[in-house]
Amino acid sequence: MTLNIFLIAFNYFLIGLLSLAGVTFTLFYKQSITLSPSELVSLGMWTSLPWTIKIVFGSIIDNFLKSRKPYAYLGALLLFIGYQGFSNIDLIKTNLTEWQTLLALGFITQLGVVLIDIVTDTFQVEAVSQNHYEKVQYWSQVFQTIGLVVGAFFTGILASRFQFQEVTSFISFLSIPLAISTFFIKVTCRHIKPVQWKFLLQTLTIIPFLFIVSDFWLVLVMTLYVGWFIYKVCPLDKYFLLTMLGIFLFRVYPSVGPSGTWWAIDVLKFDAEFLGTLTLVARLSALIILFLVGRFIIKGEIKKTLLTVTILAFILSLPELGLFFNVVPIEFSKIAFLGTVALDAPLTGISMVILGILVAKFAPSSGRATYMAVSASFMNLALMYGDYISKGLNEVFVVSRGDYTQYGKLLASTIVLGTILSIIGIILVRKKKRIK
């Protein structure tokens, strides 16, 4: 592993380490916020907007400044401001509603991470030799997963021993090593292309429009927008487009939202430290799965990778379902609950590794940030679809604090829909032999 590959991977490790606040935020939303599960899922859609419109920032980074590093420094600053805002949330809420406060702080924080992520994405191509593309993609995801594991190890401890404001204030200082590691990455090639003002202005028109629409229109507008951007930017290659669509459907895996954790806390009596333990084991399982399918990923055997993860995800989801319907004894609740908690990490990580490899192979040297941003926006559009489906399911099978009679149906519906969408996605994926 070269120094550049290590520093790039270390950035992803630090991004993964942001999960230190995971259980703290879960308990804060349950105990101190009055929003319902469906409202919290909707909030997640809006705060994830910086990831979905990552195309805009990728286009800007490709077109302005000789160095990409200042954008990463700006991202680190926004990350610091966002988490410091969370640490002073009571003061901010005196002037704004709960929704407005959480939306503003969540948006700023995610925007900071997005800027760092875009720059680091492009370094995966511009700071390593061509024959190391697969290696840097793989190790970046491994390091990020390790960061998630370390974060999971301490997240329950932090949540049980420190206040929400103390944890978020501590997390804000992770922005410092992020900026430092970026500074020491040596870029071997950088191609500046002429600014395409018309194209750039078209990408920027989406921003004000997004904040005056409902959840439905948000999903619709982003679908048209990302689709248009792919048409304008990406090659009309059957292999590339069908594989992207297949991975998209694979990633549209709806979740139960916060209802699952609330049920575990109120019914199964899980405390903060055990929630942290669950998260830790889930992250470790994600890392193990990543190693298991690593050979398939590096060889470009996408179908085998996705099929392996789909089968594992389906099997891991069954124990919790059996627990709710009394098929699994309550004594095994801690083991049974692990499955669903473990689902999201490998789905996200593996899909992004595959897309990263595809983009590295197809992207022209002058537009790599845009290509990376397009692929990430496409994946986050998939997440948005998943959240929108999750919100709808939470409105059909209503779960509230203390009333979990509909939770079993909610869980079963997410498993069935997620598995069906994954299988359809796998069918669409083309064979590697089309890559030259």
| Half-sphere exposure for 305 (CA within 13 Å, toward CB) | 30
pTM: 0.79
Query: Which band of pLDDT confidence, cut at 50, 70 and 90, is reported for residue 53?
Result: confident
pLDDT of 199 reads 64
pLDDT of 68 reads 83
DSSP character at residue 234: S
* Residues 128-181 pLDDT 10s: 666 666 677 778 878 887 888 888 889 888 988 999 999 999 999 999 999 999
Q: Compute the average pLDDT of residues 63-88.
A: 90
DSSP lists the bridge partners of residue 117 as none
Q: Name the token pair of 113.
A: 């991470």
- Residue keyed to tokens 């926006």: 377
Cα separation values, 388 from 73, 327, 340, 385, Å: 33, 30, 19, 5
* Residues 241-279 pLDDT 10s: 787 788 888 888 888 888 888 888 888 888 888 888 877
Percentage of the chain with pLDDT > 90?
22
Strands (E), 25-91: none
CB 5 within 8 A of CB 117: no
Distance of alpha carbon 62 from alpha carbon 125, whole angstroms:
13
CB 132 within 8 A of CB 124: no
Q: Write down the domain spans for the chain.
A: 3-434
Q: What share of the chain is helix, strand, coil (3-state, %, to 5)?
A: 80, 0, 20
Q: Compute the average pLDDT of residues 364-386.
A: 73
* Residues 380-434 pLDDT 10s: 888 889 899 999 999 999 988 878 999 999 999 999 999 999 899 888 876 654 4
Element (H, E) at 336: helix 333-336
Question: What is the SS3 assignment for 159?
Answer: helix
Q: Name the token pair of 286.
A: 């994600």
- CATH assignment of 3-434? 1.20.1250.20
